[in-house]
Amino acid sequence: MNGTENTDLTADTGIRRLDIPQGGPLDGAGEPGGARTAREARAHLHIADGPAPLPAGPGDEAWPTLPEWSALPEGPVCEEELARLHRLHQPAPGHTALRERLRRTHLLALCGEPGTGRAWTGLALLAACAARTGGGVERLGVGFLLGTPAERQRFQRGHGYLIELPAGATESTDSNGAMTTPGPSPTDLRLDRLRIRLVEHGAFAVVLVPGGPVAERLLGSGRHALPYEPPAADGVLDGHLADLLAEGPAELLELARSTAARPEVAEALGLDELRPGEAALLAGHLADHARGRISDARLLAHCRSFAPRQARTWFTAPGRPDTLPAALPELRAAALRIALAVFNGSAHSLTSEAAELLTWELAVTLDPQYAPGRPLFTARPGAAPATARAVCGDGMEDVGEASVPVRAVWFQGRRLAPAVLCEVWDGHHNLRGPVARWLRTLCDDPRPQVWVRAAVAAGVLCARDYLYGLVELLLPLVRSDSPVQRMAAATALAEASRAPEVRPAVDGLLRAWARGEDERERETAALAHGYGLAAGSVPASLAELGRIACADGGVTTSYGAVRLLAGTEPEAVLDGLTHWLRDPRRPRRDLALLTALRAVTTRTSYLWGLAEVPELEPYAAWPLATALLAARPGCAPQLSELLRAALTWARSAGAAEDALVGWIRRAARDERQLAVLCGFLPRLAQDGDEPLDVRAATRIREVLEAL
C-alpha cells in the first residue's frame, strides 16, 4: 500500500509525531487480574433465564409449602403428623448419638440453619424418647424458654417439647456485637434452668437455634448445644416421592425420579445441594408433574423460584430488631450475604473486608448515632459463610503476569448471587442507599479483583432501575477525580446496556457526553464504548470512538478501540480501522495508527471485556496482535495493512519501529510466538502482489537487524 503521507518528512515540518501509547487510562491499575475477575463476575451474575416471580404471600396455592419451609404450629403434635414423620424422616448423621444424649441429659440444643430438617429431627428425637415413657410431643413458643408468665406451666411427665428460637435472636451485646458480661451467656443460663425442670418432671426438650452469634456462643460453651448436620437431600427427595406417589402406578414414581435427574431441572434449581426442606418441596412439584398436573415449563419455573425464596427468607426474618446494638449481628449476616453476591468465588479476605464495610454502612443508616466496630474473634472458622449458605476452598487470583493461590469463598449454588442482589434491590428500598454508597467505595479500589466486581454488580442493579442507578450509582463515579471510578462507571454503563430496554437510554447518554465539553464525561463515554455493548453493535461503538477521537487525540479512544479489537468481532474492527487509513480526517487516521501500535504492545489479558472470547484465552499472555494472528488467521491481511501504514507514514514510523522491535524481541523468547511472527513478517513486507517500496522495506530490515 502506498502511504498517503511522505515518509521523508522531518521534525522541522511541524507535523506532530505519534508515540507508542503507554498503558491505559488507569496507568496499569485494573489491567493485571481484570480478565479473570471480569469472567468470574459475569459467570456468577448472568443467568440466561431469570427466576420465576414469587407469590405475594404464603397462601398462593400454586406455590405449596411444607413443614420444612415454615414454622410448625404450636401445641401438641397430632398422631397423624407423628405417623407421617415416622414414614418420611431421614435420620441425620449421628442421629443415634443425638438420641442417646437427649435421653441422658433431657435437653439438647440443635444449632443449624432453617430448612435443614432441624424441626423434623427434633420431633423424631422427642418422639423416640416419649415413646419409651408413654408421653406425647408438643411444640412450645420461645416465650417458654424465656420464662414469661404466659408460658410458665408444669411439664407433663414423659413428654417431649420442641422450642425454636427465631432467626435474629440476640443476647446482651455491646455496640460491636460482643457479649457485655463474662461467663455463661443468658441463653446458656436459661437452658440450665430449663434442664433442671425437665429432669424434675422426667420430660425432654429440643431447642432449635439458628446460625449466628447465639449459636456460636452456645457451641463454644459446650454445655447443651451441638451443630446440626442435615441428612442427604437425595434420600429426603426419594422418600417424599415414594410417599406422595404410593397410591399410583409404579411408572409415576420412576417418571418423577427420572425427571429429577434431568440436567435442565438441576440447571433451573441452581443450587449445589438442596436442603431437606427444599427436597421435600421439590418432591411435591415432581409428583404433580408426573401426574400431569403441571407442565415442563411450570415445573422449571417452580425450580427457578428456590434461590429467590432463600434470598427472601434471609432478608425478611421475623422479629428483626430496629436498633443497635441488638440488630448488629443480623446486619453483619445480611452484609456478608450481599458481599458474597458481588464477590462470589473471590478471595475470602476481599469478601470479608467488603462485608465489614457494608456492615458499617447498614449500621449507620439504621442508627446514625453509632459508629460500630468490628469483632476481633469468631467462635468457629467457617461459621459465618455457613450462615450465608457458602463454603470456603482453594482458589486462584491473577496478580500481574502470575497467579497466586487464595482461600476463596462462594455460594453453594449459582443462582443465589443474582437472587440476593435482586431481592435487596427490588424488595428493600431502604437498603439501596447504603448498598450504593458501598459499591461506589469499592469502585475506588485500584485492585481489579475489587472494582471490576463492584462495577459489574452496579451495572446489573442499574439495569433493574436505571433512573435510580444513574443518579445514585453512576453519576457520582463519573464526576469523581478518580480514574478508577470513571473506568468503573464505564464498565457499569456497558454492563447495564445488556438489557435491551435500557440500552437506548445508555446510548443516548454516552452520545451526549461524547459531544459535550466535560472531559470526564467524554472519557467515560470512550471507555464505555470500548466494550462494544452500549451502541448496539461493535461497528457502532467503533464509529462513536471515531467521533470522540477528534477531542481526545486518540489517547483514551485508542484504548477503547484496541479493547474492541480483543472482543468478539475483531474482523469488523479491523475493517473500520483500515477504512480510516484513507479517511481525510486526521483524528481518525491517527486513531487507526495508535490502535495498531497498542495491538503489538499490549498483553491480551489486559484488554478484557464483558463478553466471552474463548479463542483468545490460550494466548492471554501474548501481545494482542500475536494472539489474533494465532487465533484468527483471517485477520492477517488487515493487520498487516495497518502495520505497514504505521511503518511508512512519517507521523508514526518511529513509534512503529520501536513497537515492532519490542514485538519481535518478545516473540523470540517463545517458540510458539516466534513461529506465528515468522509466518506473518513476509506478508508485512508485501503490498498485495507487489513488494513493499524501498523505504518501507529498509525500515523492516533495520528492525530485524536491531534484534
Q: Percentages helix, strand, coil for the chain, rounded to the nearest 5?
A: 60, 10, 35
303, 269 contact by CB (below 8 A): yes
Q: Give the rounded percent of residues in the chain with a pLDDT score beyond 90.
A: 61
Please report where in the chains the cell 523492516 appears, as a residue: 700
DSSP β-ladder status, 402-411 and 390-399: antiparallel
pLDDT of 64 over the 70 cut: no
Predicted confidence at residue 255, as pLDDT, reads 96
Phi, psi of 612 (to 5 degrees): -75, 130
Model confidence at 626, pLDDT cuts 50, 70, 90, reads very high
pLDDT of 182 over the 50 cut: no
Other Cβ atoms less than 10 A from the Cβ of 367: the count is 16
Q: Which has the higher per-residue pLDDT, 597 or 140?
A: 597
pLDDT tens profile 114-128? 889 999 999 999 999
End-to-end CA gap in the chain: 26
Model confidence at 27, pLDDT cuts 50, 70, 90, reads low
Domain 75-227 CATH assignment equals 2.60.40: no
Model confidence at 60, pLDDT cuts 50, 70, 90, reads very low
Cα separation, 598 vs 588, in Å, equals 15
Predicted confidence at residue 399, as pLDDT, reads 83
Residues in the chain: 707
- Fill in the DSSP letter of residue 707: -
Instruction: Find the mean pLDDT for residues 336-357.
Output: 96
Predicted confidence at residue 683, as pLDDT, reads 83
Cα separation, 535 vs 53, in Å, equals 31
Q: Which has the higher per-residue pLDDT, 687 or 566?
A: 566
- Using DSSP, state whether 372 is helix, strand or coil: coil
Predicted confidence at residue 62, as pLDDT, reads 37
Q: What is the pTM of this model?
A: 0.89
Cα separation, 621 vs 664, in Å, equals 15
The most distant pair of C-alpha atoms in the chain lies apart, rounded to whole Å, by 108
Predicted confidence at residue 385, as pLDDT, reads 86
Instruction: Find the mean pLDDT for residues 103-108.
Output: 94
Cα separation, 498 vs 133, in Å, equals 65
Please tell me the least confidently modeled range out of 35-39, 170-174, 249-253, 267-271.
170-174
Peptide bond between residue 584 and the one before it cis (omega within 30 degrees of 0): no
pLDDT of 177 over the 60 cut: no
Model confidence at 312, pLDDT cuts 50, 70, 90, reads very high
Predicted confidence at residue 555, as pLDDT, reads 86
Cα separation, 54 vs 70, in Å, equals 16
pLDDT tens profile 475-505? 999 999 999 999 999 999 999 999 999 999 9
Model confidence at 178, pLDDT cuts 50, 70, 90, reads very low
Half-sphere exposure of 145 (CA within 13 A, CB side): 26
Model confidence at 691, pLDDT cuts 50, 70, 90, reads low
39, 612 contact by CB (below 8 A): yes
436, 488 contact by CB (below 8 A): no
Q: Angle at Cα 40 formed by Cα 630 and Cα 528, nearest 5°?
A: 75
Question: What cell numbers appear for 614 in the block?
Answer: 474463548
Cα separation, 607 vs 38, in Å, equals 11
Q: Give the rounded percent of residues in the chain with a pLDDT score beyond 70.
A: 84
- Using DSSP, state whether 555 is helix, strand or coil: helix
450, 79 contact by CB (below 8 A): no
pLDDT of 564 over the 50 cut: yes
Cα separation, 510 vs 514, in Å, equals 6
pLDDT of 59 over the 60 cut: no
Predicted confidence at residue 532, as pLDDT, reads 95
Model confidence at 381, pLDDT cuts 50, 70, 90, reads low
Nearest to 566 by CA among 636, 493, 507, 617: 617
The domain limits of the chain are 75-227, 233-313
Instruction: Find the mean pLDDT for residues 585-607.
Output: 93
